[in-house]
Structure 1
Amino acid sequence: MSTSRQPRAAAAASPWREVAVPSLPSLPWPVMARTQQLAAGERFPPHVHAWNQVVFATEGVLQVTARNARHVITPQQALWVPTGMLHHTGALSAAAFRNLYVADDPALHMPDHCAVLDVSPLLRELIVELGQVRPEDDQPYYLHLCALVTAQLQRQRQHRRHLPWPQDARLQRWCQALHDQPGDARSVEAWSRLLGASSRTLARHFERDTGMSLRDWRTRLRLLRAIEWLAQGRSPTTIAHELGYASASAFNYMFRMEMGMSPLQWRRSRQTG
């Protein structure tokens, strides 16, 4: 997989625009749905909840940062955020935000860490339905929906396709630069001179902080940026160039190995989904 090409500088991303987190002093039901339209570039400031959260959007792409990891969530996925986890969510493209609040319950059997969940068509429709029903109007039906949603959450496939973020300030500077320009072809040696540490020290600290090698981390970064840009409508050829691949076929190979389908197949599945 060749990444030798130095891409042209990408346009600087517009700054995030923060929107208020709605106030909710308590959770009156086992599951509550909250819907909101988010424009591209809008995000909630860092916050915590006294209950679990399922971050989901029926349209658009979300980025969630929690515990030094960045997650990119498409409409085929949701992010499970356990109670008390500091996080913030932003829209990488205009998004139909459909959030779930889930009360703690020993019978949930959900993880105590963030986890990306696949969202089946049934779970998607249950989430939409839950957001359209007023529990005061039909409490038995609403509670039945809550039970169905929690049962479906337990049945979704979980994976950890996220981007760990280091704690070290020098490594954060490095990662941010690569995130902004993922096609940057400078070597570890070049970065070590810039950051004032030996390449061996940087590599060792990077793996300690992220739990991944730099090579694997950059592959994950390129995958998540590719998902983001595909959702925005960019062509695979343009994305391959911006990610630093020498050819579109090299990019397609990486994407297929990670996602099990080509970029165009992924886009079509998103559109039909």
Structure 2
Amino acid sequence: MRWETMATPPGVRPPSPLTVRAQSIPPRHDFPEHAHAWHQVVYAISGVLTVAVEARSFAISPEQAVWLPTGSRHRVGSLLGAEFRSLWIADEAGTGLPAAPTVFGVSPLLQALIVEAAEIEGRGDDDARYAGRVTDLILDQLRRAQPLPGALPWPREGPLAALCQALYADPADDRSTEEWGREIGMSGRTLTRRFEAELGMSLRSWRRRLRVFKAIELLGGGLGVTQTAMELGYGSTSAFIYAFRTDIGRSPQNYMRGQHGQGARAIR
């Protein structure tokens, strides 16, 4: 199934100092590569986004967002669909924020502030002082946000993208590297070499990280631990809990309890 390109939003005006745009992205749709004369925060309140910027591409869940400094050329899309919130921030308001594109954890407070900012924008709230306080809190939260070095890398296009899309849709698929190579028209050795060159890790390591990524997404959506383990293809709940604890440092139950009072933690 091919991807469809979405039109850029009409009536684009520079933020002063912050504008929030709310939009739904249908499955397998993306915006064409573009850049802004202002900073941007890419965030989904539900679903998963793929973000391509500066020869890198990765997937982010609602526990993560991407900071894009002024002038960063990027492309945003979604494999399965997402509710998208885009924060446009005036260049001069970005003091103290990273100079390079960064994936960071979204705290419950920042998530609530983004939702509130979108609501205010939609209502045309006359209380400018309140809107200003919300904006100031968002900027403070962005400056306090912690970078996540463990974001899930994602191929930009081609057969590796098709492979990763298939595994994302069905993380329980346990076909070998050789089997996947035949599926996408290359030898297992070539697939291994190209995957490591483009994504910086082996297919096996990527699949392990994908399962953790998907586990957080499924658990956050209310699925139970046992159901999540089965969806991800683990042979037992205990095997899933062990793998999750190995990567995250906590059990799935403890991790999700902690998310109610803390921001996202990096996937190591």
TM-score bracket for the superposition, by shorter chain length: 0.7 to 0.9
Match for residue 254 of structure 1 among 223, 226, 243:
243
For the 8 Å contact 2:181–2:191, the answer to whether it is kept is yes
What secondary structure is seen at the aligned counterpart in 2 of 1:171?
A: helix
Aligned to 1:8: none
Tell me, which stretches of 5 or more residues in structure 1 are unaligned? Answer: 1-13
Higher relative contact order (CA 8 A, sep 6+): 1
Q: After the TM superposition, which residues 41-120 of structure 1 pair with which residues of structure 2 at under 5 Å, given as runs?
A: 41=27, 45-46=31-32, 48-50=34-36, 51-57=38-44, 59-67=45-53, 68-74=56-62, 76-83=63-70, 84-90=72-78, 95=83, 97-105=84-92, 107-120=95-108
Mapped partners of 2:135, 2:86: distance in 1: 14
Is residue 16–residue 42 contact of structure 1 (8 Å, CA) maintained in 2?
A: yes
| Shift, 1:52, TM fit | 2.2
Displacement of 1:19: 6.7
Counterparts in 2 of 1:198 and 1:227: CA distance versus 1, 3 Å: same
Q: How big is each residue's C-alpha offset from its partner over 1:37-65, in whole Å with a ceiling of 9 and x where there is no partner?
A: x48849653453412222335x5333233
Does the residue aligned with 1:48 lie in a helix, a strand or coil?
coil
Matched, 1:29 2:16: yes
Query: Bigger shift: 216-225 or 97-106?
Result: 97-106
What is the 5 A alignment of 1:1-273? 21-36=8-23, 38=24, 41=27, 45-46=31-32, 48-50=34-36, 51-57=38-44, 59-67=45-53, 68-74=56-62, 76-83=63-70, 84-90=72-78, 95=83, 97-105=84-92, 107-121=95-109, 123-133=110-120, 137-139=126-128, 142-166=131-155, 169-268=158-257
**Could you say if the C-alpha distance between residues 111 and 265 of structure 1 is closer, same or farther in structure 2, counting changes exceeding 3 Å?**
farther
The alignment's TM-score, normalised by the length of structure 2, stands at: 0.74
Alpha-carbon offset, residue 196 of structure 1: 4.9
The one-letter code sitting in structure 2 at the alignment partner of 1:63 is: L
Name structure 2 gaps, 5 residues minimum.
263-268
**Shift in Å, 1:101:** 1.1
- Relative to 1, partners in 2 of residues 1:235 and 1:143: Cα closer, same or farther, differing over 3 Å? closer
Q: CA RMSD in A?
A: 3.7
- Give the structure-1-normalised TM-score: 0.73
CA 1:237–1:93: 2 relative to 1, 3 Å: farther
Number of residue-to-residue matches in the alignment? 255
